[in-house]
């Protein structure tokens, strides 16, 4: 069984995340959306809300699992018997950032990273942009899955 972990904070989940996960689900038998928990980070949405948002977005897909974890992503992958980490790339800056992490993960644990390029229509969306739009009272509905409105 080919199993991948798609890690992130998902604060909030965006249509960019959905794009990568749905396209990745054609490559893997199971994808675990793994919400990393960092006690030092300030989140806009609680862990419970982020889990709920993900459950709403993927309620129709039994191959998508949602879990949270602390610590190294590769340790979580090993605990879940996942052989791959799935990541989305919006641009060359993302690639430069993700390349070193992928190389470290392969060296540390033999976990391969698989990169998918975001579809052009969602490549501009990031969680930080969505949070900024929310904070300033803008209309963010075209950036997040249906049903994920605060």
Residues 6+ apart with CB under 8 A from 64: 21, 25, 30, 31, 32, 33, 58
Q: Which of 133, 136, 125, 135 is nearest to 13 (CA)?
A: 125
- Cβ-based neighbour number of residue 40 at 10 Å: 4
Which residues have a catalytic role annotated? 17, 41, 90, 127
């Amino acid at each position: 069984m080919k199993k991948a972990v798609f890690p992130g904070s998902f604060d909030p989940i965006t249509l960019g995340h959905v794009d990568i996960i749905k396209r990745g689900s054609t490559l893997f038998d199971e994808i675990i959306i793994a919400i990393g928990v960092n006690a030092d980070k300030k989140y806009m949405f609680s862990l419970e809300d982020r889990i709920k948002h993900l459950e709403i977005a993927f309620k129709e897909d039994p191959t998508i699992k949602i879990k949270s974890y602390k610590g190294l992503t590769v340790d979580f992958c090993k605990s879940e018997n996942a052989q791959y980490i799935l990541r989305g790339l919006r641009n060359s800056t993302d690639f430069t950032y993700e390349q070193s992490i992928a190389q470290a993960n392969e060296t540390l644990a033999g976990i391969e990273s698989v990169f998918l390029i975001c579809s052009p229509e969602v490549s501009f969306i990031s969680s930080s942009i969505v949070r900024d739009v929310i904070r300033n009272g803008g209309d963010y509905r075209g950036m997040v899955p249906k049903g994920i409105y605060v």
